[in-house]
Amino acid sequence: MEKLTPADLKSLEQYARERAAFRARLIEHRRLRSLRLGEHCSWSFEDRETVQYQIQEMLRVERIFEPEGIAEELQVYNPLIPDGSNLKATLMIEYPDHEERVRRLQELRGFERHCWMRVQGADPVYAIADEDLPRESEEKTAAVHFLRFEFSAPMIAALKGGAALAAGVDHPRYHFSVDPLPEPQRAALIEDFD
């Protein structure tokens, strides 16, 4: 999947005019790219369109229009776009109650290293997490992580041939899996390998 360039982005004025339609389209797009793993965990799979929306929103909120500022945003967000052999996701650990969230994030240290995806007939692929910066300390994990799942060429070929795809978390304090992913979701995600 190609990375975004300044030419792919809309000016602040153009984006303001088109924002409502872009946002409505993205909500539907994200629906097939979001995965609930139990009550307290979700993954949002990123692609070129989701990243463009994030960049456009940052430019809008921060009122960035200088080429240098736009280049910085592209440098920050472009790594979230899949590279053809992987799926990339934003992981969110969600506990609405503050005190429970603090306690659970302490108990769930290492959570991001227990996230996996599995192509039917193959071993699980565990996430490579937080390549941009560490999000875990000696005391706790963060509520948000960035995951990359690397797939071999035979795995990708199997998926394109119709093999099922599963996902899960096997942390000692949090277990949940979706096996298999619903077909519309699997089909949306395998487009990231093109």
Whether pTM > 0.85 for this model: the answer is yes
**Per-residue tens of pLDDT for the chain, all 194 residues:** 899 999 999 999 999 999 999 999 999 999 999 999 999 999 999 999 999 999 999 999 999 999 999 999 999 999 999 999 999 999 999 999 999 999 999 999 999 999 999 999 999 999 999 887 778 888 999 999 999 999 999 999 999 999 999 999 999 999 999 999 999 999 999 999 98
Secondary structure (H, E, C), the chain: CCCCCHHHCCCHHHHHHHHHHHHHHHHHHHHCCEEECCCCEEEEECCHHHHHHHHHHHHHHHCCCCHHHHHHHHHHHHHHCCCCCEEEEEEEECCCCHHHHHHHHHHCCCHHHHEEEEECCCCCEECEECCCCCCECCCCECCEEEEEEECCHHHHHHHHCCCCEEEEEEECCEEEEECCCCHHHHHHHHHHHC
